[in-house]
Amino acid sequence: MSVFSSKRRTLISAAAMVALTPLLSACGKEEPTFIGSDITGTELGKDLAMVDGSGQLRTLTDYKGKVVVVFFGFTQCPDVCPTAMAELSQTMELLGENAAQVQVLMISVDPERDTPEILSAYVSAFNPDFVGLTGTPEQLSTTAKSFKTYYAKSPGATPEQYSMDHASSFYIIDQEGEARVLISGNASAQDIANDINQLL
C-alpha cells in the first residue's frame, strides 16, 4: 500500500510540474541576446553631466523611460563620426514606431570648438530628435571617465587645425538608466536596432 501511495504521489507531482511549466516560464522574462557586449551591472555613464543645445545641463535621469544610445565624437571628424551618426539615423528608421522610445546622444570630445549651437545643428542634420551634448573640459573629463572611454587631442599643422582621437563604440542604456550594451562603432544599423529592441 505504501509503495502504491509513493508512486501515486510521484505521478501527481509530475503532473503538477507539467501544468505549472507554462506559468513559470511566463513569469520569468526571457533574457535578452545582444549582438554587442553585455555590460549589465557596470554602471557605466552614471556621472554623465553635459550641456544640450539650449544650454541645459543634462544627466541620464533626464532620459529615464527611454532607451538611450550614447556616442562620443566631434563635429569636425572627417569620417568615423558622420558614418556613425548616419548608421544611427538609419537605426531610427528601422525601429519604426519604437523610435519614439529611443534617445540618441552625441557627446562632443571637442568642447573647445563644439559649442552647444554648433553641435545641436550637426546632430539635427542626421535626425531632428538627436541631442548633442557638450560642456567644459572638466565636464567632459568626468563624463568620459564615467563611460571609461578614451579621447585625446591630436596636433595638426597649426594649433587650430588639431584633430581628436577617440573611441567610437555605441553605449546602449536601458529605460532605467542602466548601461546594458557596448556595440562596435562599425556595427550595422540592423545590429544596433536589434540590441535596442531587446530593451524595449
DSSP string, 22-91: HHHHHHSPPPP--SSEE-TTS-TTTT--EE-TTS-EE-GGGGTTSEEEEEEE-TT-SSHHHHHHHHHHHH
* Span 32-44, average pLDDT: 95
d(CA 42, CA 113): 31
pLDDT of residue 21: 43
Q: What is the pLDDT of residues 151-185, one digit of tens each?
A: 999 998 888 889 999 999 999 999 999 999 999 99
Does pLDDT of 4 surpass 90?
no
All structural domains of the chain: 37-197 (3.40.30.10)
Percent pLDDT > 90 in the chain is 81
Asked whether residue 15 carries a pLDDT value surpassing 50, the answer given is no
- pLDDT greater than 80 at residue 90: yes
Residue numbers in the known binding site are 77, 81, 166
Residue 134: the pLDDT is 98
Residue numbers belonging to the annotated binding site for Cu cation: 77, 81, 166
pLDDT at 81: 96
Q: What is the pLDDT of residue 17?
A: 43
Supply the mean pLDDT for the chain: 89
Q: What's the mean pLDDT in 95-120?
A: 97
Taking the model in full, what pTM does it have? 0.83
The DSSP bridge partners found for residue 69 are 104, 172
Express as a percent the part of the chain with pLDDT over 70: 86
Given a cut of 80, whether residue 6 has pLDDT beyond it is no
